[in-house]
Amino acid sequence: MLKWFPNSHTTASGDNLLVHHLPRFFKELPDQDESVSYLLGWLAGYFAADGCVAADGTVILNSADRHDLEFVRDVCTRLGIGTYGITTQVRTGFGPEPSELHRVHLINEDLPADFFLIDEHRRRFEAADKQFARRGWVVQSVEETEREEEVYCAEVPGGHAFTLEDNILTGNCFGCQEGGDVITFLIKIDGLSFTEAVERLADKYGVQLRREDGDVRDDRPRGPQRSRLVEAHRVAQEFYAEQLRGPEAQVARQFLLDRGFDGSVAQTYGNGYAPKDGEALLKVLRGAGFSDEESVAAGLVAVGRSAYDRFRGRLLWPIRDASGDTIGFGARRIHDDDRIDAKYLNTPETAIYKKSQVLYGIDLARREMAKASRAVVVEGYTDVMACHLSGVPTAVATCGTAFGDDHARVLRRFLHDHEEFRGEVIFTFDGDAAGQKAALRAFEGDQNFVSQTYVAVEPSGLDPCDLRQKEGDAAVRELVARRVPLYRFVLGNVVAKYDLDRADGRVDAVREAARLVSSIRDKSKVDAFSRELAGMVGVDPEQAREEVRRAANRSSRQAPPPTAQQATSDERPRQQLPDLRDPRFRLERETLKLVLQHPAAIGNASRDVGANDFTHPTYRAVWELIAESGGPTSGAADNGWAGRLGDAAGDPSVASALSALTVEPLLTAKVPDAAFVAAHVYRLQELTTMRRIADLKSRLQRTNPVDHAADYNRMFGELVALEHHRRTLHDKAVGTTE
């Protein structure tokens, strides 16, 4: 590599080769906002300098600075490259004292061979036959042993572990609190109810379920069992895939080729072709032992004067649930003589297919979503395929319906969207009126997510599939990288309709946008959106707030009259607070339980905790009572301390919360030690610091660094200090520093 750096030279230190006087830009970390192609090139160069490929093909990057590897993991997330957690080893021989060396492994499946600039790296990578990969692991057998061991949680950095005895999970992860049996796993990973999880396992392993007398479910689907409907779809998908290779399907194959999808891509996504013969699939299903009743219940066959195939002469996409079972089909019109004019037909509602709860591509995207904490919502089947092939593996699409609340709940499960700062949901819309209408619907459901919501719109109006065809894979990745906040996009569309150079135009723009702002369900966002609106239109922020208040009042006057019970209630109803057991506030709840039940264990660790560390008003009030009483140290030797706190609470809801927090068991069977305390107290403070960082970054984005250089530099310095403080708290929380 030195041929590109003529001013650099090398020296030897034992078996190590040292490079001196590399250009400054070679050592500096790039801006995360750089283009994807730039970041990929930087990462390849970084790896060539400091990385290695082991003899078995393991891709490893080492650094003495853990922060550098954390930055590398962030870059990999943006590039769609999976990584394992950072591990640390102590080495000797580099300096007078032992020093730490940090390491991260990159997932082979996500790397192309041309990523490796050094020939030996590329040779080992291509020659490797990795027996296992992180994704797609399947437990083949469970055998009884005498072992008891700790297994590290893949979702939590810093060494948090499960305890396994005889390969059976016996406790929760100390970091993320996840745990449970196979039924709990299915409930969480596929979003099933307890009964649905039991029924799915019974279907899979042939267990006959019997209901006891009185155990009647009126809402249980009638008709064939789920396993029969899924099996019918499996047979149909194989039949349709085979038909795609026949002469009648030439038009369907050409449709895919014209959009950049060859035979191997069609095989990956299960594309098929439904013959024009109206009974082709019906005969196959009958031959496979399915009754007409089962075929109709599956949505594969319809009945008129006789039974017939629901899809005829169409290109098909199998629609799968999160576990990979085919549960329906999307069918596109490709023949001019098709008597049905609709461009797309979808499977009708069945016991296993609910279009309001189904996302195309979720089976392929769900693991990538969990790794990257990002979901990209596109508008069509071909857009999903184009995104995945272009390096955006988290793309999904709705199936013939608008994105709704049920779809949001599906995404939340796989994004782990119940913790602070967990990620992004990015919608892609056309720039036309229909796209703006879709964006407005998404904005109305924005409060369904803790994650931040964005919009990615291609300026020329191309969807991801067309964009890939015209400009290549990198353009699709760039489309997603250029996303803008959803609320800014929606408000910008409203404001753009008016002439802001005229005073009356500004008034009308604020008035219409204010109606939109006042309608959002999360009232904590109203003030922020009002300020954003003021900046867009160029009016005083107080004017925008006043218009929003007027819009809210007009809306309330148009609401239906209250019922008799409501009319007799308190004229000033209490503010509706979030549920105390909402997962967003779990760390706050667990920390307060620890303080109230084990104040001696807390000691001085909580001396820097303040009311602002608690985002739920009730938990904040509980902490304020604790602080007023002298803090946890006051209760260390006072058995009646918690009771007196309850007596001092003037608000009944705070007194009730105190009582519950005092007796509710901690999420550990052991007596809390220093590590357990640190994992709660310092993590709580870290989240507060992250909120301050997010707020400061937002202010930086709105500040012009040329016109307001002093303010910009001051905030940037504050941001650096906050980030250093956050890393210190993180290290304390995971026990890597004293």
Alpha-carbon torsion (518, 522, 527, 533), positive or negative? negative
Q: Can you tell me whether residue 192 is helix, strand or coil?
A: coil
Give 361's contacts (C-beta < 8 A, 6+ positions apart).
384, 388, 395, 396, 397
pLDDT in tens, 195-239: 777 877 887 777 877 766 555 444 444 567 788 999 999 999 999
Q: How far apart are CA 596 and CA 641, in angstroms?
A: 9
| Lowest pLDDT segment from 478-487, 570-579, 632-641 | 570-579
Q: How far apart are CA 512 and CA 548, in angstroms?
A: 9
Q: Are 280 and 315 in contact (CB under 8 A)?
A: no
This prediction's pTM: 0.52
Quick one: pLDDT at residue 299? 94
326 against 432, higher pLDDT: 326
* CATH architecture of the domain covering 354-496: 3-Layer(aba) Sandwich (3.40)
Q: Are 214 and 242 in contact (CB under 8 A)?
A: no
Q: How far apart are CA 133 and CA 131, in angstroms?
A: 7
Statement: residue 78 has pLDDT above 90: no
CA-closest candidate to residue 548, choices 495, 510, 581: 510
Quick one: pLDDT at residue 272? 96
Q: How far apart are CA 381 and CA 372, in angstroms?
A: 22
CA-closest candidate to residue 385, choices 567, 261, 207: 261
H-helix or E-strand spanning residue 679: helix 674-701
Quick one: pLDDT at residue 294? 93
Instruction: Encode 245-265: b = buried (16+ Cβ within 10 Å), e = exposed.
Output: eeeebeebbebbeeebbeeeb
Provide the percentage of residues in the chain whose pLDDT is more than 90: 24
Q: At what angle do helices 486-495 and 526-537 cross, to 10 degrees?
A: 40
Quick one: pLDDT at residue 28? 73
Quick one: pLDDT at residue 573? 41
Q: How deeply is 377 buried, as exposed, middle or buried, from its count of CB atoms within 10 A (0-12, 13-18, 19+)?
A: buried
Q: At what angle do helices 473-481 and 464-471 cross, to 10 degrees?
A: 130
pLDDT in tens, 404-458: 878 887 887 777 654 444 568 898 876 566 666 777 777 766 555 545 778 888 8
Question: Which option is the CATH number for 583-734: 1.10.860, 3.30.420, 1.10.287, 1.10.600?
Answer: 1.10.860
Q: Can you tell me whether residue 397 is helix, strand or coil?
A: strand
Write the single-letter amino acid at 261: F
* Chain centroid, CA 136 distance in Å: 19
Question: Which option is the CATH number for 2-127: 3.40.50.720, 3.10.28.10, 3.30.230.10, 3.40.50.150?
Answer: 3.10.28.10
Domain ranges in the chain? Answer: 2-127, 148-180, 226-353, 354-496, 501-558, 583-734
Q: HEC states along 257-281?
A: HHCCCCHHHHHHHCCEEECCCCCHH
Instruction: Encode 622-634: b = buried (16+ Cβ within 10 Å), e = exposed.
Output: bbebbeebebbeb
| Token output for 698 | 């937002």
439 against 698, higher pLDDT: 439
Tell me the helix, strand and coil percentages in the chain, rounded to 5. 50, 15, 40
**Mean pLDDT computed over every residue of the chain:** 79
- Count how many residues are written for the chain: 738
Backbone angles phi, psi at 596, to 5 degrees: -75, -35
Quick one: pLDDT at residue 422? 52
Quick one: pLDDT at residue 570? 41
Fold of 226-353: DNA primase DNAg catalytic core, N-terminal domain (3.90.980)
CA-closest candidate to residue 359, choices 285, 410, 314, 295: 410
644 against 622, higher pLDDT: 622
Q: Which residue, chain included where needed, has tokens 């979702």?
A: 155
| Lowest pLDDT segment from 14-28, 273-287, 290-304 | 14-28
Q: Are 422 and 373 in contact (CB under 8 A)?
A: yes
Quick one: pLDDT at residue 254? 96
Q: How far apart are CA 196 and CA 187, in angstroms?
A: 8
539 against 151, higher pLDDT: 539
H-helix or E-strand spanning residue 25: helix 24-27
| Token output for 481 | 């990288």
Q: Can you tell me whether residue 628 is helix, strand or coil?
A: helix
Q: Can you tell me whether residue 333 is helix, strand or coil?
A: strand
The pairs formed by 365-370 with CB atoms below 8 angstroms and a separation of 24 or more are 365/393, 365/394, 365/395, 365/396, 365/414, 366/322, 366/414, 367/135, 368/80, 368/82, 368/393, 368/394, 369/394, 369/411, 369/414, 369/415, 370/155, 370/414, 370/415, 370/416
Instruction: Encode 447-461: b = buried (16+ Cβ within 10 Å), e = exposed.
Output: ebbbbbbbbbbbeee
pLDDT in tens, 497-518: 888 877 778 888 889 888 888 8
Quick one: pLDDT at residue 255? 96
Write the single-letter amino acid at 546: E
pLDDT in tens, 346-362: 999 998 998 888 999 99
Q: How far apart are CA 610 and CA 625, in angstroms?
A: 11
pLDDT band of residue 275 (cuts 50, 70, 90) is: very high
Statement: residue 256 has pLDDT above 90: yes
274 against 518, higher pLDDT: 274
| Token output for 605 | 């660790």
Cα 327 to Cα 344, 360, 378, 642, distances in angstroms: 17, 11, 20, 54
Provide the percentage of residues in the chain whose pLDDT is more than 70: 78
Q: How far apart are CA 148 and CA 153, in angstroms?
A: 16
Strands 374-378 and 307-309, bridge-based pairing: unpaired
Strands 452-456 and 424-428, bridge-based pairing: parallel
Q: How far apart are CA 483 and CA 223, in angstroms?
A: 46
Strands 344-346 and 326-333, bridge-based pairing: antiparallel
Quick one: pLDDT at residue 94? 62
